[in-house]
Chains A and B, each alone.
Chain A
Amino acid sequence: MTVKKTKHAMPEQEPKERIKNFKEVPYGYDEETAIEEAKRCLQCKNKPCMEGCPVEIDIPCFIKYIAEGDFDKAAEIIKAKNSLPAVSGRVCPYEEQCEGVCTIKKIGEPVGIGRLERFIADYERKKGVKNPRKVKSTGNKAAIIGAGPAGLTCAGDLAKMGHEVTVFEAFHAPGGVLMYGIPEFRLPKEIVKAEVEYIKKLGVEIKYDVVVGKTISTEELLDKYDAVFVGTGAGLPRFLNIPGENLDGIYSANEFLTRVNMMKAYKFPEYDTPIKIGDIVATFGAGNVAMDSARTALRLGAKKSYIIYRRSDVEMPARDEEIEHGKEEGIIFKLLTNPIRFIGDDKGRLKQVVCIKMKLGEPDESGRRRPIPISDSEEVIDIDTAIIAIGQNPNPLIPQTMKGLKIEKWGNIATDKNGRTNIPGLFAGGDIATGAATVILAMGAGKRAARAMDEYMRSKKLKTNISKKHKVLAY
C-alpha cells in the first residue's frame, strides 16, 4: 500500500473574504477526509509522536479509531489525557511536537495529527459531550489560581482524580489567554466556553472576580485548601523603550487584543469597550501574538497592516501557519527593520515611526543571529496605530504579594519540573513559571502539577492519619 505523501488539505475561508470578518479561518475536516487522513498513519511501534506531546495523548490509538470510523472511541482516548482538545487542536504548534517527529515525515508530510484532534473535538462538541463519570471523592480540596490553559488543565485532571477543585479567576470570564489573547478567527470563543463547560461538568467550580493576592491572599488559600496551583500567566507587556512610546495610538498587544477579543471592541458600540486604529497599523514583533495583532487590525478595517521585525524571516518565532495566513491576507512584512522613535502630531496622536535597517551578525545567547543597525539607513513610515508585541513578563500579583516565595530573575515563580515551588503545598505552572510560552506547554505543566498535587495531598493525608493513630496510642 502506498501512503499519500501530503496531508489532506483543510478547506479555508478565502483570504479576501476572511479579512472582512472575525469568523474562523479553516473549516476543519469532514468525516470522509478525516478517515482518509487517519489511514495515512503507519501505526508504527515506537510512537515518536507521543514523546512529542506535552499532554501525553495516545496519538496512534485515537487515530486508529478514526480510521475505523469510531469517532466516539477516539474522543474517549483524547479526553482521557486532554480536557481541552478543541483548543489544542487549533493552537498547538504540532509541527514542532507530534507532527515534527512523525515517522512518515521521512517520505513526505506528517500525519495531520492536529487536524484530526480538532476534527474529533468538534465532532464530539456538535454531537453533545457525554457527561463524565463521577469519580469517588478523596475529600481533598485543591485551589487553582487563574482559569487559563494551565489552570483549567490542572483543575480538570485533579477533578478526574476525585479531588474537590475550586478555580479563582480575576476576570469576569474563564479561559485566560484563550479568551483575551487569541482572536476569534483562530479560536472561536464559543469553543472555549464549551471546553470550560466540560471542565465544570467534571465537578470543578469557578469563581470569578477574585483577584488572588488582593481579594484573598495566597496564604489564606493555603490555609483553606490542601494544595494550591498558581497559573496566573504572563502579564505586564514589554515595551520598546524608545521615545514617543506613550503617544495616543500605541497599544501593547495585550491591551489591543484584550479590547478586541475579551471585551469585544470589534462590536463597538454594541459592546461598550472601544478601539480605534485608523488606516495604517504597524505591529512590532514577529511571534504568534504579533501575527494575531496584525491580522486583527486588517479585520478592524486597516488598509495597511505591517509586521516590523528587527531580524529576518528565518528567526520569526511565529508558527509557519500563522505567517502563511498573514501573508495570504496581505500583511506587509518589513524585516531587518528596527523602530528607534515614534513621532506624534501637536495633539499627541501617533503619526510616524522612524526605523533603522538592520543586518545579522554572529549568533547571540539565544542562538539566533544578532541584529546590528546599519548606519544612515533611517526610514520614516507613516502610521496611525502601533501595536507592541515583543513579549511580556509574568503577572506580578502573586510574586509581589506572597512572602517567602522563591522568584527567578524575570519575576517568574521558581518550580521544579513537576511544578513544586519552595513552599509546601504551593505549585505553579505555565507562563507564570516559564515566562511567555505556548498554550500546550502551559497545559502540560498543569497536567504534571496535578499529578504532583495528587501525590502531595495523598501523602499529607496519610501522615495526618498516622499521627492521629499515634496520638490514640499515646493515651
Chain B
Amino acid sequence: MVAKKAQAGQFVILRIDEKGERIPLTIADYDREQGTITIIFMEVGKTTKQLGTLNVGDTIENFAGPLGVASEVKNYGTVVCVGGGVGIAPLYPIVRALKEAGNYIISILGAKNKKLLLLEEEIESFSDEIYITTDDGSKGHKGFVSDVLQKQIDNKEKIDMVMAIGPVIMMKVVADLTKKYDIKTLVSLNPIMVDGTGMCGGCRVSVGDKTKFACVDGPEFDGHEVDFNNLMLRNRRFLKEEEDACKLKEVK
C-alpha cells in the first residue's frame, strides 16, 4: 500500500515490536509493481541497530506511510544535488525524478570513505555530471561536498536550484554557501518524531522564524530559512537515553 503512493522526498514511520519506538526514515526507493519500499539507514540508535540484525523474510510490527509532502518536481534548469552519508539514499529518488522532469543534474556525493559511499552508480545513471568527495580521500576529492559546490558555482553560468540532504551540519554549510549567491536551496530535515502524522508537535523546526512541523509541512524546507542550530540542539534531546537503552538491551 505504501509503495503505491510513495513519491520522492517522503518518509515512513516504523516500529520494530510491541515495545518499540516509532522512528521516521526517508524513502530511498520504491517499486510500485512489486509493492516494495527501500529504506537505507545508519545504525545510530537502538531501533536502527535492531533493524540491522533482521534477515530477509523477517517482519516488523508497524510500517506507515508515505508521510510528508513530496518533493516539488519540475524543470528548474540546472540543479545541483548534494548528498552526504546516509542522506544520499533519500536523494536518489529525487535525482531520478528531477532528471526525468528534464533538469540538467550535477550530483555531488560525500562520504566518510569509499566503503561508505552509497548508490554511486544509481545516481550517476541519472546525472549529467557527478562528483565524489570523501573525508579521507579514498575516493574522489579529499574534503567536503561544499568545496566542490563552490567550484561548480564559480564555473557554471547559472545554477537554478540546489537540493541538499545529509547531516544537519552539511546542509547548514551548503545553505550558508548558496545564500551568498542567492541560489534557491532545499534541504530535507530529520528531526525527532513520535507520531509523524501532525499530532504531537515533537518535530517542530524553526523556519523563517515560524514554527513548522517537519511531518506535515516538510520534510523539505527552504535551506536559507531553517534554524539549523536549533535543529541540531533538538536532535540531541535524548542522546543519553538512547545510549542507555542500547547498553541495557545489549544492542551493539
Interface residues of chain A, those whose CB is within 8 Å of chain B, are 170-172, 180, 208-211, 214-216, 233, 235-237, 239, 241, 245-248, 251-252, 254-255, 258-259, 263-264, 268-274, 276, 347-348, 395-397, 400
Contact = CB atoms under 8 A, between A and B. Distances in A.
A214 B199 contact: no
Nearest to B230: A246
Interface string B158-179: 0000000000000000000000
Given A255-B194, A273-B21, A246 B201 contact: no
Nearest to A276: B241
A395 B62 CA distance: 21
A214 B195 CA distance: 14
A235 B199 contact: yes
A272 B194 contact: no
Nearest to A273: B21
Interface of B: 1-2, 5, 15, 19-22, 46-47, 61-67, 194-195, 197-202, 204, 206, 211, 213, 216, 227, 230, 233-234, 236-238, 241-242, 244-245, 248-249
Contact of A215 (B1, B19, B206, B216): B1
Given A263-B22, A276-B238, 7 more contacts: A233-B199, A236-B198, A237-B200, A268-B245, A269-B249, A273-B21, A397-B216
Chain A CB count within 10 A is highest, among B22, B46, B236, for B22
Contacts of B194: 255, 258-259, 263, 273
A246 B195 contact: no
B244 to A, nearest CB: 6
Chain B CB count within 10 A is highest, among A239, A246, A251, A272, for A272
A251 B204 CA distance: 10
Given A263-B21, A276-B238, A397-B216, A215 B65 contact: yes
A221 B211 CA distance: 32
A270 B1 CA distance: 31
Contacts of A171: 64, 195, 197
A403 to B, nearest CB: 15
24 contacts: A170-B197, A172-B22, A208-B62, A211-B67, A214-B5, A215-B2, A236-B199, A239-B201, A247-B233, A248-B234, A248-B236, A254-B199, A255-B194, A255-B200, A268-B245, A269-B241, A269-B249, A270-B19, A271-B20, A272-B19, A272-B46, A273-B194, A276-B238, A347-B233
B225 to A, nearest CB: 14
B19 A400 contact: no
A264 B63 contact: no
A154 B199 CA distance: 22
B107 to A, nearest CB: 28
Contacts of A236: 198-199, 201, 213, 216
Interface of A is mostly: loop
A358 B178 CA distance: 46
List the 8 shortest-distance A-B pairs measured between CB atoms, nearest first: A274-B241, A252-B201, A272-B21, A348-B233, A209-B64, A237-B201, A255-B202, A255-B200
Contacts of A258: 194-195, 199-200
Nearest to B15: A172
Given A248-B234, A255-B194, A397-B198, A272 B64 contact: no
A178 B15 CA distance: 21
B120 to A, nearest CB: 31
Given A236-B199, A258-B194, A397-B197, A215 B238 contact: no
Contacts of B248: 269
Contacts of B227: 246
A211 B196 CA distance: 10
Contacts of B20: 271-272
Contacts of B199: 180, 233, 235-236, 254, 258, 395
Contacts of A239: 201, 204, 211
A273 B241 CA distance: 9
Nearest to A170: B197
A256 to B, nearest CB: 9
B236 A272 contact: no
A259 B63 CA distance: 18
A23 to B, nearest CB: 20
B202 A269 contact: no
B197 A209 contact: no
Nearest to B203: A255
Contacts of A246: 204, 206, 211, 227, 230, 233-234
A269 B244 contact: yes
Given A214-B67, A274-B241, A276-B241, A248 B233 contact: yes
Contacts of B63: 209
Contacts of A237: 200-201
Contacts of A211: 64-65, 67, 197
A347 B233 CA distance: 8
Given A172-B15, A272-B21, A276-B238, A251 B202 contact: yes
A263 B206 CA distance: 26
A47 B218 CA distance: 52
B241 A172 contact: no
Contacts of A274: 238, 241-242, 245
A269 B20 CA distance: 10
Given A237-B201, A252-B201, A272 B47 contact: yes
Chain A CB count within 10 A is highest, among B62, B216, B236, for B216
Contact of B1 (A210, A252, A276, A395): A210
B66 A215 contact: yes
Nearest to B17: A272
B238 to A, nearest CB: 5
Nearest to B244: A269
Contacts of A216: 1, 5
